[in-house]
Amino acid sequence: MSKNNKNKKKQNQPVGLWIALVVIFIILIAVLGIFLMENKEKEDQKILAYTDLIKELSYGNVEKIEMKTGSTTIKVKMKNVEEEKTTIVPNTESFIELVQTKVAEGNEIELIQKPRSVAAQIPSILISFLPTAIMLALFIMIFKMQGLGEKGKVYDDTERKTKIKFDDVAGLEEEKEEMIEIVEFLKKPEKFTKMGARIPKGVLLYGKPGTGKTLIAKAIAGEAEVPFISMSGSEFIEMFAGLGASRVRKLFDKARRLAPCIVFIDEIDAIGSRRTSNSGAETENNQTLNQLLVEMDGFSSEETIIVLAATNRPEMLDKALLRPGRFDRQITIPTPDLKGRLEILKIHSRDKKLAEDVNLESIAEDTAGFTGAELENILNEAAIIATKNKHEDIENEDIEEAVKKVTVGLEKRGRVYSEKDKKLTAYHEAGHAVVSRYLPTQTDVKEVSIIPRGVAGGYTMYKSDEDKYYISKTEMQEKLIALLGGRAAEKLVLNDISTGASNDIEVATKIARDMVTKYGMSDILGPIDFQGKEPYEMQMFGENMGDKIGAEVKTLIDTAYQEAINLLEQHRDKLDLIAEALLEKEKINEEDFKRFFN
Ligand code: ADP
Ligand code: MG
Ligand code: ZN
Q: State pLDDT tens for residues 86-105.
A: 888 877 777 887 787 777 77
pLDDT at 152: 34
Could you say which ligand is closest to the alpha carbon of residue 266?
2
Helix%, strand%, coil% for the chain, nearest 5: 55, 10, 35
Give the pairing type, strands 202-206 and 459-462: unpaired
Pick the ligand that lies closest to the CA of residue 333. 1
Report phi then psi at 149, rounded to 5: -60, 125
Per-residue pLDDT reduced to its tens digit, 137-187: 777 676 655 544 343 333 344 456 778 999 999 989 889 988 898 898 888
Ligand nearest to the CA of 216: 1
Cβ–Cβ under 8 Å, residues 431 and 490: yes
Nearest CA to ligand 1 atom 12: 373
Mind listing the pLDDT tens digit for each residue in 107-124? 788 888 877 644 444 555
**What share of the chain has pLDDT > 90, as a percent?**
38
CA of 210 to the centre of ligand 1 (A): 5
Residues having CB within 6 Å of any atom of ligand 1: 169-172, 207, 209-215, 310, 344, 347, 372-373, 376
Pairing outcome for strands 329-332 and 459-462: unpaired
Q: Taking residues 60-86, report their average pLDDT.
A: 84
Q: CB-hemisphere CA count at 13 Å for 278?
A: 0
Q: What is the pLDDT of residue 192?
A: 79
Q: Among all ligands shown, which has an atom nearest to the Cα of 342?
A: 1
Tens-place pLDDT, residues 237-280: 655 667 788 888 999 999 999 888 999 999 998 887 765 555 45
Q: Per-residue pLDDT for 375 more than 70?
A: yes
Name the residue with the closest Cα to ligand 1, atom 14: 215
Write down the pTM of the prediction. Answer: 0.63
| pLDDT for position 54 | 80
Distance 212 CA to ligand 1 centre (A): 3
Specify which residues 459 forms β-bridges with: 449
Nearest atom within ligand 1 for CA of residue 216? 6
Per-residue pLDDT band for 10 (boundaries 50, 70, 90) equals very low
Looking at residue 595, what is its pLDDT? 94
Gap from CA of 130 to ligand 1 centroid (Å): 45
**226: Cβ–Cβ under 8 A, 6 or more apart, which residues?**
161, 186, 258, 260, 261, 262
Amino acid 23: pLDDT: 75
What local confidence, expressed as pLDDT, does residue 263 receive? 94
Q: Give catalytic status of residue 429 as yes or no.
A: yes
334-361 average pLDDT score: 92
- Protein residue whose Cα sits closest to atom 18 of ligand 1: 372
- Residue 147: the pLDDT is 46
Asked if pLDDT for residue 581 goes beyond 90, the answer is yes
How many helices (H) and strands (E) in the chain?
23, 12
CA dist., res. 336 & res. 559, Å (int): 34
CB-based burial label for 377 (10 Å; 0-12, 13-18, 19+): middle
CA of 383 to the centre of ligand 1 (A): 19
Q: Which residues contact 308 (CB under 8 A, 6 or more apart)?
A: 202, 203, 204, 205, 217, 220, 262, 263, 264, 265
Q: Which residues surround ligand 2, an ion (CB under 5 A)?
A: 214
pLDDT score of 308 more than 90: yes
Q: Please report which helix (H) or strand (E) contains residue 488, including its range.
A: helix 473-489
d(CA 246, CA 571): 66
Q: What is the pLDDT of residue 572?
A: 97
Which among 284, 376, 395, 429 is annotated as catalytic?
429
The answer, yes or no, to whether residue 40 has pLDDT greater than 90, is no
| 172, 206, 208, 211, best to mutate for ligand 1 pocket (most atoms within 8 Å of CB) | 211
- Cα 372 to ligand 1 centroid, rounded to whole Å: 5
pLDDT for residue 592 is more than 60: yes
CA 3 to chain centre: 39
| Band of pLDDT at residue 282, cut at 50, 70 and 90 | low
In this prediction, residues 575-596 reach a mean pLDDT of: 94
Burial tier of 468 (Cβ tally within 10 Å: 0-12, 13-18, 19+): exposed
pLDDT band (50, 70, 90) for residue 132: confident
- Is the four-CA dihedral 478, 483, 489, 491 of positive or negative sign? negative
pLDDT at 301: 62
Ligand 1 atom closest to 217 (CA):
6
State the burial class of residue 394 (Cβ atoms within 10 Å of its Cβ: 0-12, 13-18, 19+): buried
**33: pLDDT strictly greater than 70:** no
pLDDT at 57 over 70: yes
Predicted confidence (pLDDT) per residue in 286-297, tens digit: 788 888 888 888
| Cα–Cα distances in angstroms (integers) from residue 117 to residues 47, 69, 128, 568, in the given order | 21, 9, 21, 65
Asked if the peptide bond before residue 123 counts as cis, ω within 30 degrees of 0, the response is no
What ligand 1 atom has the least distance to the C-alpha of 169?
24
Q: Which atom of ligand 1 is nearest to the CA of 266?
A: 2
pLDDT over 70 for what percent of the chain?
84
Q: Closest ligand 1 atom to the C-alpha of 333? A: 3
Give 551 or 48, the one with higher predicted confidence: 551
Query: What are the tens digits of pLDDT across the range 201-246?
Result: 899 999 999 999 999 999 999 999 999 999 888 776 655 667 788 8
Q: 526-567: per-residue pLDDT in tens? A: 999 998 788 888 888 888 888 999 999 999 999 999 999 999
Q: Are 371 and 210 in contact (CB under 8 A)?
A: yes
